[in-house]
A and B are shown apart, each in its own frame.
Chain A
Amino acid sequence: MIREETIQKFREIVGPDACLSSVEDLINYSYDSSVDEAMPDVVLLPQGTEQVSAIMKVANEEGIPVTPRGAGTNLSGGTVPMKGGIVLVLTRMNRLIKLSKEDRYAIVEAGHINLDLQNRVKAEGLFYPPDPASWSVSTLGGNVGENAGGPRGVKYGVTRDWLLGLKVVLADGRIIQAGGITAKNVTGIDLISLFTGSEGCLGIVTEVTVKLLPLPPFQQSIQAFFPQLDGASRTVARIIGSGIVPVALELMDKVVVNMIEDSAHIGLPRDVEGTLLIMVDGEEATCRKQVEVMEKICRDEGSSDIQVAQSAEEEDKLWLGRRSAFGVMSRKRPTCVLEDVTVPVSNLPAMIKGTVEIGKKYNLTIGVMAHAGDGNTHPMIVTDKRDREEWKRVEKAVSEIFHLAVDLGGTLSGEHGIGLSKKPFIPLIMNDDARRLMVEIKSVLDPKGILNPGKFIE
């Protein structure tokens, strides 16, 4: 519980309509897109770095936990306030501060929505590559918090690769600027990397400076269907091995495709075992050549049908289906457990095969989807958390999936972060000293341990 005088202080900082404590509001900030929930004591929606700093000073003095939150779409419990306290919501800090065409960068406040930025820079002939499937709602601050990727990651990498600078409020309210606006910058330790992917445990990001590219002149997407899932995953490894760098290379199995079709009715074939969705961009002639090569590889690996999108609308439709894939899984059963174990691309076929086998072993419905070009798989277990017995099997299956990934030279999370759900598995991948180092770093930045307590750094 937070004392009423303290709440009054917060109310004075952010204004009465940005300091919420009704039971309804507390419930509404108790969850994110993962399965866990916990109630905060108060919800604050600051506007501006100064307000964030003022809040942190009070919180630090009184030792009140603070969980930063963007749109709350992370899939790992990152914004669930495990120890109560404050949920600090940055959605109202959504200004575009600067867009420089000459120097090709943009500065936005942390609550700026990814797709809004995409659209703004596109209008100027520019391009911001990271495109998490949640882009229509997720915020740049949240993208930094999880170091989010997206389908375009195969060619363009993840959020960190596009960051030039961050403004960060530290646990005690001090404000720092990491990085700047220049394309190159090796002044000091790379603090941007320190905060990126730190899941709100090391500081509050209030402004984000991203670098931009000229908008690619052309893009083309193709969709290839395979009677065998194995053929699809081998195709992925072969395309990557061929030297082509597609923008995106997504794989979906039959379970996922059918659920998408139930929801979106875009005419996907319901009986094929594997579907690949591939995008290339660049000069038109080059793209067309790449598409030809990829078509050939698909056919060699037994693809039964290949379709090339003929218009921008057709492209949009293909990708819209893919972006809704997590949500559609909840149509048949209420709970969808989504993991994002990542392996070297050459081991993708083994990872996918193993996942399907684990599903069979525990008699669970597992849909397999992957940002395949990155070796990043998204096994999705559809279940009902209310069914205790089944839930036990789910937990066992998840544990086996993690072990398999590690055995294949992979890692626990490619982009969704550790949060709560994967916390117990960190020792599989980091030794004691590495984990202790994380704790030591945190204790320097946040000696009282108020930033997003209960999460992966402990």
Chain B
Amino acid sequence: MEQKKPVLSDATGEHVYHCAKCGLCLNACPVYRETLVESHSPRGKVQLAKHIIEGDLDITKHMSDILFSSCLLCGSCVAACPSGVRQDALFSGLRWRAAERYGLGFTKKLFFQVLSRGWLMSTSAWFGKWVRKIFGGPWIENRMKVGNLPVAGVPPMNAKPFNDEFPEIVRPDGAVNARVLYFHGCATNYVFGDVGRAVVSVLTRMGVEVEIPKNQSCCGLPIFLSGDRKTSLTCIREVVHAFSRKDVDAVIVDCATCGSALRNEYVHILKELRDLGEGVDDDLVAAAEHLAGITKNVSEFIDAHRDWLPPFPPYTGEKIRVTYHDPCHLVKGQNVGAQPRRLLKLLPTVEFVEMAEADRCCGGGGEYQIEYGDMSARITNRKVENVRKTDAEFVATGCPGCNITIGAHVAKDHVKAIHTVQLIRNALDGKGPGE
């Protein structure tokens, strides 16, 4: 039975034939740059995908390892590919088939089932218990390192979920310039509550009415990318139903990954599942298309409506050096890179410095850094070195994953990672970046 199923939909599979094997993705891939082995390169894996699709190569256990261990699904190859090949779609599709065959690791499975049922995580006490269970042991207390992640530098969980802090609709004082839905994602809800507060604060001061739907689901992308498509589909359905609305001006997202899910991945994934007969209908695809059209990254939205910002109060303190790290899912996935820089340069509190290779992956890749610590560390070290060279006190970024990875590694240098929108909020408050 299993044999009859095509590995990937025809539309996705056709991508392998458009790879010119030119190799321009090799240099873009953070993993290839470290190992210099073709099977770790995007070109290599596309060629393997071709053999799998044509049926002369089986998804062996070794192949499955290659798919999971040598790819952060950062999308750098997609951005670098002149031929327009969607390596991400090919690789995540193959991960799905690999996961069907070999299963997900126990920790991963639990992690994703929990993410997909956001309501289970309604108390932080439960969350803590769950985290301990997942990573097996008292590492939080002992401040150990899991994989490549030095736990000492990881921020603590929110005292209560962000979503519980606000009423469902937050209105600005005075005239309303726009109405938006705020998709806050798991990271803001459970870890970076202050990012959410900053988003609401800045937007309302711009005259934007912010609606924060209750019971928001995980965007589903981390789950999807790891091959567990069934679980991720639950998430996607919920998000599309709750956020694909015609009566709002935009859906605002503060997380790079969630944003690229809502505006790039959903439509693609749903079409693929529809074509493979996995119970997705045209209405769902159409709703996802509408959602993709109205989703905006928070920095992008603020930048586009800079004229709505109130004047910054005068700041007399010393300017603080801030550099910016481009999250892969933001700059490559959504072409958002100039906007946060423009905003940072606007702030009276900030002296902006560019770091070398700002758009190179930080090596985190969500749970990649936990499972494949050595490789992740090699990539992260390069990023940390580039941060150090700027002498910045803050690394601004737009992704909770990068924030955790970079923040944890630069903590010992007294450098902090922070979301761009937090810096904007602080400046509007007349405060320095770190106050």
Could you tell me which A residues sit within 8 Å of B by CB distance? Answer: 20, 22-25, 27-29, 31-34, 45, 71-73, 89, 91-92, 94, 111, 113, 115, 134, 136-138, 262-264, 323-331, 334-336, 384, 386
Contact of B27 among A34, A45, A136, A326 (CB under 8 A): A136
Contact with A along B27-38 (1 / 0, CB 8 A): 100000000111
Contact of B62 with A22 in the complex, beta carbons under 8 Å: yes
Could you tell me which B residues sit within 8 Å of A by CB distance? Answer: 17-24, 26-27, 36-39, 44, 47-48, 51, 57, 60, 62-63, 66, 81-84
B26: chain A residues at CB < 8 Å are 71, 137
Contact of A32 among B21, B60, B82 (CB under 8 A): B21
**Known contacts A27-B57, A28-B48; can you find 18 more A-B pairs with CB under 8 A?**
A27-B48, A28-B37, A29-B38, A31-B47, A34-B21, A72-B23, A73-B23, A92-B36, A94-B36, A113-B27, A134-B22, A134-B24, A136-B24, A324-B24, A326-B82, A327-B82, A327-B83, A330-B82
The 10 listed contacts between A and B (C-beta, < 8 Å) are A20-B39, A24-B60, A28-B38, A28-B39, A137-B23, A264-B82, A327-B22, A327-B24, A330-B19, A331-B83
Contact of A326 with B22 in the complex, beta carbons under 8 Å: yes
Chain A residue at minimal CB-CB distance from B17? A334
Say how far B88's CB is from chain A's closest CB, in angstroms: 17
**Cα distance, A137 to B23, chains bound together (Å):** 7
A115: chain B residues at CB < 8 Å are 27
Contact of A331 with B18 in the complex, beta carbons under 8 Å: yes
Contact of A24 among B18, B62, B83 (CB under 8 A): B62
Chain B residue at minimal CB-CB distance from A336? B20
**Cα distance, A73 to B20, chains bound together (Å):** 10
Contact A31/B21 with A327-B82, A331-B83 known, Cβ cut-off 8 Å: yes
B47: chain A residues at CB < 8 Å are 27-28, 31
Contact of A33 with B22 in the complex, beta carbons under 8 Å: yes
Contact of B84 with A33 in the complex, beta carbons under 8 Å: no
A334: chain B residues at CB < 8 Å are 17-18
Chain B residue at minimal CB-CB distance from A386? B17
Contact of B23 with A134 in the complex, beta carbons under 8 Å: yes
B63: chain A residues at CB < 8 Å are 24
With a 10 A CB-CB cut-off, give which of A71, A136, A137, A327 has the most chain B CB atoms: A327
Chain A residue at minimal CB-CB distance from B21? A33
**Cα distance, A27 to B21, chains bound together (Å):** 13
Majority-rule SS of B interface residues: loop
**Cα distance, A24 to B36, chains bound together (Å):** 15
Say how far A314's CB is from chain B's closest CB, in angstroms: 15
B82: chain A residues at CB < 8 Å are 263-264, 324-328, 330-331
Task: Report the number of A-B residue pairs with Cβ-Cβ less than 8 Å.
Answer: 97
B48: chain A residues at CB < 8 Å are 24, 27-28
B38: chain A residues at CB < 8 Å are 25, 28-29, 72, 89
B83: chain A residues at CB < 8 Å are 263, 327-331
Say how far A268's CB is from chain B's closest CB, in angstroms: 14
**Cα distance, A329 to B38, chains bound together (Å):** 23
Chain B residue at minimal CB-CB distance from A92? B36
For the complex of A and B, the 6 pairs showing the least CB-CB separation, nearest first, are A327-B82, A324-B82, A334-B17, A330-B83, A28-B38, A330-B20
Majority-rule SS of A interface residues: loop
**Cα distance, A113 to B20, chains bound together (Å):** 20
Contact of A23 with B57 in the complex, beta carbons under 8 Å: yes
Contact of B20 with A329 in the complex, beta carbons under 8 Å: yes
Contact of A327 with B27 in the complex, beta carbons under 8 Å: no
Say how far A115's CB is from chain B's closest CB, in angstroms: 7
Say how far A289's CB is from chain B's closest CB, in angstroms: 34
A94: chain B residues at CB < 8 Å are 36
With a 10 A CB-CB cut-off, give which of A28, A263, A264, A334 has the most chain B CB atoms: A28
**Cα distance, A25 to B263, chains bound together (Å):** 35
B22: chain A residues at CB < 8 Å are 33, 73, 134, 326-327
Contact of B84 with A24 in the complex, beta carbons under 8 Å: no
Contact of A27 with B18 in the complex, beta carbons under 8 Å: no
**Cα distance, A24 to B58, chains bound together (Å):** 10
Contact A71/B23 with A27-B57, A28-B44, A327-B83 known, Cβ cut-off 8 Å: yes
**Cα distance, A137 to B48, chains bound together (Å):** 20
Say how far A14's CB is from chain B's closest CB, in angstroms: 13
Say how far B293's CB is from chain A's closest CB, in angstroms: 19
**Cα distance, A323 to B22, chains bound together (Å):** 11
**Cα distance, A349 to B355, chains bound together (Å):** 46
A23: chain B residues at CB < 8 Å are 57, 60
**Cα distance, A263 to B84, chains bound together (Å):** 7
**Cα distance, A32 to B66, chains bound together (Å):** 20
Contact A33/B23 with A94-B36, A334-B17 known, Cβ cut-off 8 Å: yes
**Cα distance, A330 to B66, chains bound together (Å):** 26
Contact of A91 among B20, B36, B51, B60 (CB under 8 A): B36
Say how far A222's CB is from chain B's closest CB, in angstroms: 23
**Cα distance, A53 to B20, chains bound together (Å):** 33
Chain B residue at minimal CB-CB distance from A262? B84
Contact of B37 with A20 in the complex, beta carbons under 8 Å: yes
Chain B residue at minimal CB-CB distance from A338? B20
A73: chain B residues at CB < 8 Å are 22-23
**Cα distance, A32 to B24, chains bound together (Å):** 12
**Cα distance, A293 to B21, chains bound together (Å):** 40
Chain A residue at minimal CB-CB distance from B44? A28
**Cα distance, A440 to B62, chains bound together (Å):** 45
Say how far A199's CB is from chain B's closest CB, in angstroms: 17
Contact of B36 among A33, A34, A111, A386 (CB under 8 A): A111
With a 10 A CB-CB cut-off, give which of B18, B23, B63 has the most chain A CB atoms: B23
With a 10 A CB-CB cut-off, give which of A32, A94, A331, A386 has the most chain B CB atoms: A331
A25: chain B residues at CB < 8 Å are 37-39
**Cα distance, A31 to B19, chains bound together (Å):** 12
With a 10 A CB-CB cut-off, give which of A24, A34, A384 has the most chain B CB atoms: A24
Say how far A419's CB is from chain B's closest CB, in angstroms: 14
**Cα distance, A20 to B23, chains bound together (Å):** 20
**Cα distance, A22 to B38, chains bound together (Å):** 13
Say how far A387's CB is from chain B's closest CB, in angstroms: 11
**Cα distance, A329 to B18, chains bound together (Å):** 9
Chain B residue at minimal CB-CB distance from A334? B17
Chain B residue at minimal CB-CB distance from A320? B82
A20: chain B residues at CB < 8 Å are 37, 39
Say how far B331's CB is from chain A's closest CB, in angstroms: 15
**Cα distance, A263 to B81, chains bound together (Å):** 9
Say how far B233's CB is from chain A's closest CB, in angstroms: 29
A324: chain B residues at CB < 8 Å are 24, 82
Contact of A45 among B18, B24, B36 (CB under 8 A): B36
B84: chain A residues at CB < 8 Å are 262-263, 331
**Cα distance, A72 to B48, chains bound together (Å):** 16
